[in-house]
Structure formats: structure tokens, C-alpha cells
Amino acid sequence: MKINYFKKPNLKIEYKTVHKSKGLDADYVIVLNLNNKLNGFPNKMENDPILDFVNNKKDEDIDYAEERRLFYVALTRTKNNVYVFHKSINYSQFIDELKDENKVDKLNFKFSNEELMEINNLLGKKFEVIETDNVCPNCGVGKVNLILNNEKGTSYFRCSNFCGWDGGPHHNESRWYDSRQIAYVKYAKVCDECGGMLVVKENGIDGSNFLGCNFHKERDCCNSIDLPSDFDLS
């Protein structure tokens, strides 16, 4: 698969699986998905037991033996440098092993909001990104952003550092998906009980407003606080 980079259209970028890359080389190689998850690298999905009859028994004492062989193939395809991409937390054990055994330069890479909006425009303005003053409770580095999906009419909180934190929806009720999202998001705070977000909610009895956890149903979190005195409904 060929990839076109809109800022440098003459740059030749090809996407290949590691299996398809065997025997090939390139000036630079980027290895993706070095994350600690089921379908990360190493892939942690268990093989069908029938494969035990054909697999090398010597591999049994080596964690992810076949994935290690694939990782070696990926790392040795380059003529110059290889770049491995992973989340800032919960990354692959291969990353720790690389850092222990080799000279590795760490690069912090993240999109600015301007770059996100530029990508968004290329995708047809499906998303809007609204910054908050909250620091991500997961990585402690990124800022909490509200992502508006204009195509689906949904909104959710995510980390600007792409650390994998799921801040949940801004509001479950579709009637809240309007200009008030932007006006009210400045009052949102990180929930110190479940790691979700405290968002503006309405009391169904008297119609008053308060900050309540957006994971009230999913995590049974009943954390709530009063709104500041400067709260404005307009």
C-alpha cells in the first residue's frame, strides 16, 4: 500500500506488514503499534492448540518467540534509522528490552491542535478539538481535549498526548450536542474518584445544575460537586 504525505507528495512511503517486508530494505523504517495490548506488538492472541504439534518445542521457554523473530525482521530492514512508535504509557515490553540493550534516542512526538485541525480539514471537518485546562489523569503530561464528532453527533474526552486515556462522553443525551458543549466544557474537571470527567448536568427534580461524573452509569460513580459561582447558562 502506498501512502501519500500531503506536505511532501514526492516522498515515497509504502505500508507493508512485517511478513511482506522479509528480504526487502528501505532508507528508513517506521514500526507501528509497539503497545502493550492484545493486538499490539508482540501480539498476545493465543495460537490454536493444534499448532503445538508443529511448533518448535525449544520456543516454549521464550516469551513471544515468533513475535521476536518478526520484530528482528522489522528492525533490520533499514539502511539508516528505524523508528518505533508507541504510546507514552502501557507500551510493549520490547521497548524496555531495546532500551536496556541498545543506544536508543527517545523522541516525543505529538500533534499540535493546529496540525490536528489541518488533518481534520483533509478528512472533511468531521471532528472539532476543544482544549480544556485539565491535565490528563493518566499520563500527567497531555491536556484533556473535548473531541466533537460532527458526523455522528457525539463528543468525548481524550488526551492531547494520545496516551490511551478514555475520558468518556461529554454528555450521553443528544440534546446536549449543541453550542452549549463549547460553553460548558470550560467547567469540566477530572473526576478524582474514577478518572472520568465531571461535566455540567441538570437535576431532574428542580432543574438546577451541578458537576457530575460522566461515568455515573458505566462505573457507578456518584461523584459530584457544586458549580462555581461564575457559572453562566447563557
Contacts of 215 (CB under 8 A, 6+ apart): 168, 191, 194, 196, 221
Reference 224, options 185, 197, 186; nearest CA is 197
- pLDDT per residue, tens digit, the chain (234 aa), is 777 777 788 888 888 999 998 999 999 999 988 888 888 888 887 665 655 655 555 555 678 888 889 989 998 998 898 888 887 767 888 888 887 766 777 776 666 666 766 766 666 667 788 888 899 998 888 889 988 887 777 888 998 877 778 898 886 444 444 555 567 888 899 999 999 999 988 888 888 889 999 998 888 999 999 988 877 765
By the 8 A CB rule, do 11 and 5 touch?
yes
Cα–Cα dist 234/175, whole Å: 16
- Full-prediction pTM beyond 0.85? no
Q: How far is CA 73 from the centre of its chain?
A: 26
